[in-house]
Structure 1
């Protein structure tokens, strides 16, 4: 059971009179950990493009995008992101690219990433990333087709 679903189930079991609105159980547009609003586990999305590797961002350099907080290693990276967030933000809201291609949400892990055609993709873990790398163009095409409907289910 997904953590968000488990939390909702526990809350409802604790108080049968508690009624939660539908969005409380829905997935947010950008993946963040259960008890945080920080995207990409605090890694700087611009650094993947500039440095070719993940770098932890700082609480001193942040920007809000689609309801999530993104952290950056510098003001310059933050400003680059703010100038074109669609260029730097991970695809599918930072959810696992392979999972989206299969029709569901799963966390994207900032340590398992790849830039393809100028876009950042995250995967759940190393094993999933290996599977994804078996047919990146095919999985991206599937995910691109599925994402609009999967995204609306939120």
Structure 2
């Protein structure tokens, strides 16, 4: 088999695998993970239980949706494991303001807000102030763009 035929075969195989994964991609959110750790290692449950960002411990971690989630306590890890969707940030942990505008960017774990029981992370405290000017509109815009914004 020539090199060109191998490349053609491999390219076709990769395309077929990608096409078959599209329905799964639409159902499975991709979580932003800086160096593999979701929310830069902050405990996602603590936002709900302590009302503050709390750094998690690498020794108290769980793998979910392709990212490692760190927790400040075993109790928080157990709560997450029982219902991860209840605690995971919206829009894959990407900036909710950016997703509302059709792109993704990273977040600052100290720029956050819980709205109607859902955690939203924002790029920075400055951007969080802009996001807060129209929370409902920004959430609606982000919901329209998610998850297709990942393809851009």
User: TM-score, normalized by length of structure 1?
Assistant: 0.78
Unaligned runs of 5+ in 2: 1-13, 19-28
Whether the 8 Å contact between 2:58 and 2:70 is mirrored in structure 1 is: yes
Query: 1:11 maps to which residue?
Result: none
Instruction: Count residues with an aligned counterpart.
Output: 127
Query: 1:109 maps to which residue?
Result: 108
Whether the 8 Å contact between 2:62 and 2:77 is mirrored in structure 1 is: yes
Query: 1:139 maps to which residue?
Result: 138
Query: 2:6 maps to which residue?
Result: none
Give the Å deviation of 1:99. Answer: 0.1
Q: Structure 1 CA distance, aligned partners of 2:83 and 2:119?
A: 13
Query: 1:55 maps to which residue?
Result: 54
Query: 2:68 maps to which residue?
Result: 69
Query: 2:80 maps to which residue?
Result: 81
Q: Structure 1 CA distance, aligned partners of 2:109 and 2:31?
A: 13
Q: Does 1:39 align with 2:64?
A: no
Could you say what secondary structure the match of 2:119 adopts?
strand
Query: 1:29 maps to which residue?
Result: 30
Q: Structure 1 CA distance, aligned partners of 2:46 and 2:147?
A: 27
Give the Å deviation of 1:148. Answer: 2.6
**Deviations 1:108-127, CA, capped at 9 Å, x for gaps:** 21110000000000000011
Please state which structure has a larger fraction of its residues in helix. Answer: 2
Bigger CA radius of gyration: 2
Displaced runs of 4 or more, over 4 A: none
